[in-house]
Structure 1
């Protein structure tokens, strides 16, 4: 009987509304238990298989006096800039003409007055010949005027004497005086005309000389800007068919470095202060230098002040537009060179610092985990960075690929140390 009832119960149709099927507290309990199970599995996976530790090098935070012996000079400030030439010119022609000969190449050393190029001088030669002919004509006219005056003067003097004796009438004397005055005026005009002809000849000779382009000073050609057959002009004519220069000439003895120093640190820089320049092309080469001048104006868009740095020794390896880093030096002791105070703060390797300015930070190692700590940066000294605040001497910082690190990330010392 029981089996028959169970069979009939299984064949009974479920007439409840579709929206009420399966709804009840048991369903929600099952969902909650499933979520808790998944969370437990995740926590267990983290505990049993923690994320791999990031390999980094460790470095100790050092005090400046520990890093450099007493009395040693250290950088009070670092700044980046470029090598520039104080004397650099695009040598151009004074007239518009076609180039007939170019006598320069890049890298050529030239002397002041050396010919760099020659221009078409057919027109200027014709003008010069005309000016010389006009000068010859003016000289001939003056000679004729002098002869006429020389002939007229004794006649006038004789008539003047006879007039005083009463042998010549006043009308005849006036006529002769007019001729004499006309001869004097003709000579004066001839001499002025001669002056004009001489000036015109000087202009023609100057125009002829302007067809020869010469170096204004000793230097090295860095850019060859024109070729034979091209037209050069002192002014840009547009269209790209007219050159405005023959080439760029750089006085290598005028090379210096220009850097932009933050106005917050400009008080650490003084005129004639010792400095060291390191070129990006030769990072291991320390070049003795000094502060030439601090430009007395600030760039408000960048909050910087431009500083000029001169080289104490010239070298052929120093080239214009090279990138450079300048370390402004301060002597050890209570006060540095030119009154710059001894550097404060602590030293860490450059590779331990992430970011710059307000975003600068280091990762301090604590029990195999790192703590991201914002810091205030000072000057660089070679491969070390001065940290003014945010660190203490003896702490350990991570050095390496800092992009892999976050606050709390587990690290392992490179090499298993």
Structure 2
């Protein structure tokens, strides 16, 4: 059509092709310009139309490929009744059942600190000590006073006609008078007091544990510190966590919990037994529960550490599906099952859950083929070929 129009235009005499001459050449040049522009415009439009048709066909092919039924990525499992671990998750905090802030009972200059933070100590191990020169002098003076009082006591007995070895026949009243006159009773008390003050210059660990919050430094007065250090028994730990009041009966039935630090993933947890339940509900409807960890040193667990608390209860005869099999559709829980080659839409009700599974109480039955992989884009009664069983 394009070339037929051009031929008719040329034949009409708008372009003169014979008898070349100067005037004729000018006329040809002037009249040929619009014709060339028309030809270029028509060619460009033709190319654009061809290109657009190709794009449309490719897009249609792409849409058809994405909507065509396929089962290559679809997996299903045959539903059977089995055991289900009902699980309650909570956040808790660890604390030691024995911890103390250690300090000297007497004042003085700190001579030596023998431990460092993070060090494990045993019962009776020396933590720090004061300069004992003054306490030792007082003790020696008290001991001399005691020895002098013993001599005076013997002298009083001799004056009464008795010897100190005559304890079997020594009357109680004579003995009491001799102790008073000699000052033996006062000397004994003073010696014990000075002996205790000398012992108090040495700070000892009252129980085994780990040193924390070390504050004291040598050559400083002990009164400058609120306490020297903290001692934490990391072999006796408990976890404190909160549960909703409606979950309390589940905690009581279980009795055992498993804890895992947030910093440690994929490792086996530590067992703990519920020790106490605070019989008060706070403003948020929560109840505090404490569980005692099993005996033994758990060096990876620290006082004040945040942990995950898992409470589990074994239920039998449950229909259990992976969490991936349950979808949210129209504000309800949906599970797709495979019936022959069709995907069936099933509304379900959930009776329990844990970190990876749901227990289904309504909507499914034993023997159903539950689709748990490749189910996100499924529709009701969609044809599926090639689905693979678990």
Distance of aligned partners of 1:387 and 1:260 in 2 relative to their CA distance in 1, 3 Å threshold: farther
Change (3 A) 1:385 1:249: farther
Answering whether residue 181 of structure 2 is matched by residue 190 of structure 1, we say yes
Structure 2: segments with no counterpart, 5+ residues: 1-73, 163-173, 335-348, 365-369, 373-390
282, 293, 297: which is aligned to 2:279?
297
CA distance in 2, matches of 1:135, 1:106: 42
Structure 1 residues 262, 118: CA separation in 2 closer, same or farther (over 3 Å shift)? same
| Counterparts in 2 of 1:346 and 1:92: CA distance versus 1, 3 Å | farther
Q: What SS class does the counterpart of residue 135 from structure 1 fall into?
A: helix
Question: Is the partner of 1:196 in helix, strand or coil?
Answer: helix
Q: String of CA shifts for 1:269-310, please: whole Å, max 9, x gaps.
A: 027623222210112123141333232322523432222233
Matches within 5 A, 1:47-66: none
Q: CA RMSD in A?
A: 4.3
Structure 1: segments with no counterpart, 5+ residues: 1-59, 152-182, 234-241, 335-341, 354-360, 365-375, 397-417
Question: Once the 2 structures are TM-superposed, how far is the Cα of residue 84 of structure 1 from its aligned partner?
Answer: 1.4
In structure 2, what is the equivalent of residue 210 of structure 1?
Answer: 200
Q: Is residue 279–residue 285 contact of structure 1 (8 Å, CA) maintained in 2?
A: no
Q: Structure 1 length as normaliser, TM-score? A: 0.54
Q: Cα distance, 1:346 vs. partner? A: 8.5
CA distance in 2, matches of 1:144, 1:392: 103
Matched, 1:133 2:144: yes
**TM-superposed deviation, 1:87:** 1.2
Q: Is the 2:128–2:202 Cα contact (8 Å) retained in structure 1?
A: yes
Cα distance, 1:282–1:69 mapped onto 2, change above 3 Å: farther
Query: For the structure 1 residues 185 and 84, does the alpha-carbon distance in structure 2 shift closer, same or farther, using more than 3 Å as the test?
Result: closer
Closer/same/farther in 2, CA of residues 216 and 120 from structure 1, 3 Å limit:
same
Moved over 6 A (4+): 344-347, 361-364, 376-380, 385-389, 391-396
TM-score of the superposed pair, with normalisation by structure 2:
0.57
SS state of the match for residue 224, structure 1?
Answer: coil
**Correspondence 1:70 to 2:52:** no
Q: State whether structure 2 residue 237 is matched by structure 1 residue 264.
A: no
Q: Output the CA distance in 1 between the equivalents of 2:240 and 2:352.
A: 18
Q: Give 1:213 deviation, angstroms.
A: 0.4
Q: Does 1:331 align with 2:311?
A: no
How far is 1:144 from its partner?
Answer: 2.4
Change (3 A) 1:199 1:93: same
Q: Measured at CA, do residues 103 and 85 of structure 1 come closer, stay the same or move farther in structure 2, by a change above 3 Å?
A: same
8 Å contact kept, 1:273–1:329: no
